[in-house]
């Protein structure tokens, strides 16, 4: 087939909403785009374990501790499915990790903020996992098959995470005055960073045009951000908490909330590596990777021995 025919076949597959599979021909830029997004997503899951892991030893009860351990462990699993999905595109795990450890690859801006109180664990589940699901539901239909299939299971687990976070917020907001204040303070600190998770406004998003053309993204950053606000504001009202946005207002004609503009300068600063916890997060990841070297070496030596035995 000529290069033109290959490209036509690829476009026709997308038109028919068929998934693109690892052995299919694909344009180089599609491959690069998917590797970039899937690997950033994988890194986010892995780095995302750190702010919550910080509270495992301080969870207020045994039940909360068990639930939090399970949640953080789920995030590790998500990272592993996503690294595997990226590897089907022909990039190695070592290369992917190297990109994270050298700061070449991004991970979600949200994980560069500190978790100061137990209410932050509630706010992360409710808002951060809530924003993640809003984005990930459409990714179950993303055009790259291995990514779409990984997202099905991830979405199920993220729904559970969102509910456990909201339940923590319910308990705190119905608790003592101090507990309610703690819940409000967490909402105040996590609201705007959660809106930033969806990425820059559509007009300033360099990757959206190709992502939509290739059906990698089915909805834009702004569309998803709007849906998140519409869904989450009534949840905050139910808790008796106030969303920290003086411009927030229901618009009956649009059947949607008008809301203020996130501080995009802060966002750009965080993704350039200058957020409150960027250095700490990356330092923790690089340190964990170094400490884990003996486990990787032992696993490789065991596999080699087993292979030799099987071949003998």
Summarize as ranges the residues that interact with ligand BYC (CB under 6 A): 36-37, 40-41, 44-45, 48, 75, 106, 108-109, 128-129, 132, 135, 196-200, 205-208, 211, 221, 271
CB nearer to ligand BYC: pick between 200 and 259: 200
In 3D, which of 23, 45, 150 has the Cα closest to residue 90?
Answer: 23
CA 40, CA 72: separation in Å to the nearest integer? 18
Nearer to ligand BYC, 3 or 206 (CB): 206
Backbone angles phi, psi at 106, to 5 degrees: -85, 165
- The least CB distance from residue 132 to ligand BYC, in Å, is 3
Closest CB 203 distance from ligand BYC, rounded Å: 11
Asked if 67 and 164 count as a contact pair (C-beta separation under 8 A), the reply is yes
Identify which of residues 40 and 88 has a Cβ nearer to ligand BYC in the complex. Answer: 40
CA angle 5/9/13 to nearest 5° reads 170
Segment holding 104, helix H or strand E: none
Are the C-beta atoms of 111 and 48 separated by less than 8 Å?
yes
CB of 165 to ligand BYC, least distance (A): 9
* Alpha-carbon span 171 to 175, nearest angstrom: 6
Closer to ligand BYC by CB, 179 or 268: give it.
Answer: 268
Minimum distance from residue 18 beta carbon to ligand BYC (Å): 21
The first and second tokens of residue 21, run together, are: 């599979």
> How buried is 306 (Cβ within 10 angstroms: 0-12 exposed, 13-18 middle, 19+ buried)?
exposed
Distance in Å, CB of 69 to ligand BYC, minimum? 13
Find the shortest distance in angstroms from Cβ 101 to ligand BYC: 16
CB of 81 to ligand BYC, least distance (A): 12
When CB distances to ligand BYC are compared, the closest residue is 48
Rg of the chain on CA atoms, in Å? 21
Residue closer to ligand BYC by CB (options 193, 243) is 193
Q: Are 248 and 233 in contact (CB under 8 A)?
A: yes
Q: How far is the CB of 177 from ligand BYC (least distance, A)?
A: 29
Q: In the complex, what is the shortest distance from the CB of residue 35 to ligand BYC, in angstroms, rounded to a whole number?
A: 10
Nearer to ligand BYC, 10 or 130 (CB): 130
| Pick 45 or 120: Cβ nearer ligand BYC | 45
Q: Which is nearer to ligand BYC, 37 or 143 (CB)?
A: 37
- The separation between the first and the last C-alpha atoms of the chain, rounded to the nearest angstrom, is 44
Nearer to ligand BYC, 226 or 308 (CB): 226
How far is it, in rounded angstroms, from Cα 1 to Cα 143? 22
The DSSP result for 158-207, as a single string, is: HHHHHHHHHHHHHHHHTS-HHHHHHHHHHHHHHHHHHHHTT-S-GGG-TT
DSSP 19: P
């Amino acid at each position: 087939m000529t290069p033109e025919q290959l490209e036509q076949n690829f476009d026709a597959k997308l038109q028919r909403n068929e998934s693109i599979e690892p052995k299919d021909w694909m344009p180089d830029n599609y491959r690069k785009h998917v590797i970039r997004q899937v690997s950033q997503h994988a890194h986010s899951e892995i780095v995302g374990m750190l702010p919550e892991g910080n509270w495992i030893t301080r969870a207020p009860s045994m039940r909360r501790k068990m639930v939090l351990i399970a949640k953080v462990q789920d995030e590790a699993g998500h990272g592993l499915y996503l690294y595997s999905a990226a590897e089907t595109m022909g990039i190695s795990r070592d290369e992917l990790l190297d990109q994270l450890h050298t700061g070449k690859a991004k991970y979600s801006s949200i994980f560069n903020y500190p978790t100061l109180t137990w209410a932050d664990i509630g706010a992360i589940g409710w808002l951060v996992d809530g924003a993640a699901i809003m984005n990930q539901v459409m990714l179950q239909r993303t055009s790259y098959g291995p990514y779409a299939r990984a997202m099905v299971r991830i979405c199920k687990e993220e729904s559970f995470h969102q509910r456990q976070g909201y339940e923590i917020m319910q308990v705190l907001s119905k608790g003592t005055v101090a507990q309610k204040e703690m819940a409000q303070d967490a909402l105040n600190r996590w609201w705007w960073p959660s809106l930033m998770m969806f990425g820059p406004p559509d007009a300033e998003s360099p990757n959206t045009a190709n992502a939509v053309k290739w059906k990698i993204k089915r909805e834009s950053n702004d569309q998803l951000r709007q849906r998140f606000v519409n869904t989450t504001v009534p949840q905050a009202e139910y808790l008796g908490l106030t969303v920290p946005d003086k411009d927030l207002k229901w618009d009956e004609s649009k059947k949607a909330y008008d809301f203020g503009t996130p501080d995009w300068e802060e966002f750009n600063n965080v993704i350039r590596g200058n957020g409150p916890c960027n250095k700490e997060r990356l330092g923790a990841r690089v340190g964990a990777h170094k400490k884990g070297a003996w486990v990787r070496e032992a696993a490789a030596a065991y596999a080699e021995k087993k292979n030799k035995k099987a071949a003998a």
